[in-house]
Chain A
Amino acid sequence: MASSFCVSIFISFMVLMLVNETKGHESVGLTFELPNKEKICFYEEFKLIKSYVFTYQVLKGGRHDIDVTVKSPTKKVIYQGVKAVKDKIVFETSSGLYSFCFSNEFSNVIHKVIYFEIRPEDHRPLAIEAGVKRPTVNTKIEQTMEDLHRMTTEMIRYQREYRLKEAKGRFLAETINEGVFWWSLGQSVIIFIVMTSQVFVLKCFFTDRRKSTAPPEGQEVVYAKPLQTT
């Protein structure tokens, strides 16, 4: 009973491991919001020595800048971007834990929306994506399909890039739209205030003089005379 229980656990974990082996290390692409004065690190453990591409881009917020640091398993800084807007790096992984840190600590109020992606430089063959561990020798038709797959993968990649650019442009357009709306309201209010206050200040100049000069009788004449002559 106990052994069968163990075996079932073992099998289930083997299945899990297999799933992770075959499905793991696919490209990761995440979009997240980083509040002001905050920092976040993402960690990824690589097991294979392979060429990986790391790209990031600030989609929303302020001047679209962010501090980025990538560290190798030996804690060596392999990439550093200070107040960077977007970048793309290719790096050879060694087995171990890599950290990808984004810092918005320099910003006092502005939240940033950041997209980043970590993917292998070469594309994964169809067979690998379907979960086959060791793909067999390709026939000609399979080779053709592989070519097709390479192209569709490229298309998806371009579409994603375009989508991100569009998102960035759209966020900007929305900010401008809102800015124009509030500024026009504000400007109208300012015009009204200035116009009415101008009139009342001007009126005050005249009424004040009359009030202050009114009580002493003799002086009124002295002040009135130069006024009438001008």
Chain B
Amino acid sequence: MFNKSVLGFLLTVCITYTSALYFHIGETERKCFIEEIPDETMVVGKYKVELFDRQQNMYVPTRGGLGMHVEIRDPDDSMIISRVQVFDMNIGDFVHTAPGPLGMHVQIRDPKGSTIMSRTYAAEGRFTFTSHSAGEHVICLHSNSSAWFGGGQLRVHLDIQVGEHANDYQQIAAKDKLTELQLRVRQLLDQVEQITKEQNYQRYREERFRQTSESTNQRVLWWSIGQTVILLLTGFWQMKHLKSFFEAKKLV
């Protein structure tokens, strides 16, 4: 009993403190976000889903298996998501769990439109992936709600951090035994690395842009030539055909 009340209190505390950006979707709806990132860049996404409770007239944490399906696609059609973790209240850490009854489906697509990750997770969770190829990665979320849940409203808290923002520096400092100053250098290094990657990706994108422009140029050129040829040929054929027709009819 005491346990439950404490849990309830803590849950409310937790809700008031988790204040990432949120939005609403229908229970069967699906929302996608696009992340254009260089290669070898880490992306960390955290989400939490709440269900609208008509009796309490507020959004409450979903219990009993409302989860989210996460789908991630990268530009090379390869699976990039290696693992998805879910926060376990009993253990107090992110652990791998089997999808509960109401979860979240997260789908991530790469620039070529292939799915790199597609899995269903619990109502609150975290997904990380490192991009193998540069380009547009599509992250899609929808709940694993079944049809009879139907018209409910979901509130989805979402926080996506890319690049050096995805790093947990407290963890890094503890693991590599860095002093404060060393950690600052490390942070700066990560930032510079991110800039380098972005700059490199910029080169690739500029190339792609130029290829598109050159292709347009070629198409316009060949089409103008092609059209002139078509016009000449059809005009010639028209004249020839009509001439023989008139001659056959003895009109000329």
- Please tell me if the beta carbons of A9 and B92 are within 8 angstroms of each other in the complex: yes
Partner-A contacts on B (CB < 8 A): 2-3, 6-7, 10, 13-14, 17-24, 31-36, 87, 89-93, 159-161, 165, 168-170, 173, 180-181, 183-185, 187-188, 191-192, 194-195, 198-199, 202, 205-206, 208-209, 212-213, 215-216, 219-220, 223, 226-227, 230-231, 234-235, 237-238, 241-242, 245-246, 249, 251
- A192-230 to B contact mask, C-beta < 8 Å, 1/0: 100100110011001000100000000000000000000
- Please tell me if the beta carbons of B209 and A169 are within 8 angstroms of each other in the complex: yes
- Please tell me if the beta carbons of A126 and B184 are within 8 angstroms of each other in the complex: yes
CB-CB contacts below 8 Å: A147-202 with B: 148-149, 152-153, 155-156, 159, 162-163, 166-167, 169-170, 173-174, 176-177, 180-181, 184, 187-188, 191-192, 195, 198-199, 202
Main SS of chain A's interface residues?
Answer: helix
Q: What chain A residues lie within 8 Å of B18 (beta carbons)? A: 16, 20
- Please tell me if the beta carbons of A9 and B7 are within 8 angstroms of each other in the complex: yes
Q: If A32-B32, A152-B188 touch, does A159 touch B199 (CB 8 Å cutoff)? A: yes
Main SS of chain B's interface residues?
Answer: helix
Contact of A26 among B161, B220, B238 (CB under 8 A): B161
Q: What chain B residues lie within 8 Å of A44 (beta carbons)? A: 19, 21-22
- Please tell me if the beta carbons of B202 and A173 are within 8 angstroms of each other in the complex: no
In angstroms, how far is the closest chain A Cβ from the Cβ of B40? Answer: 16
Contact of B219 among A113, A166, A180, A199 (CB under 8 A): A180
Partner-B contacts on A (CB < 8 A): 2, 5-6, 8-13, 15-17, 20-21, 24-26, 28, 30-33, 40-45, 47, 113, 118, 126-127, 129-131, 141-142, 145, 148-149, 152-153, 155-156, 159, 162-163, 166-167, 169-170, 173-174, 176-177, 180-181, 184, 187-188, 191-192, 195, 198-199, 202-203, 206, 210
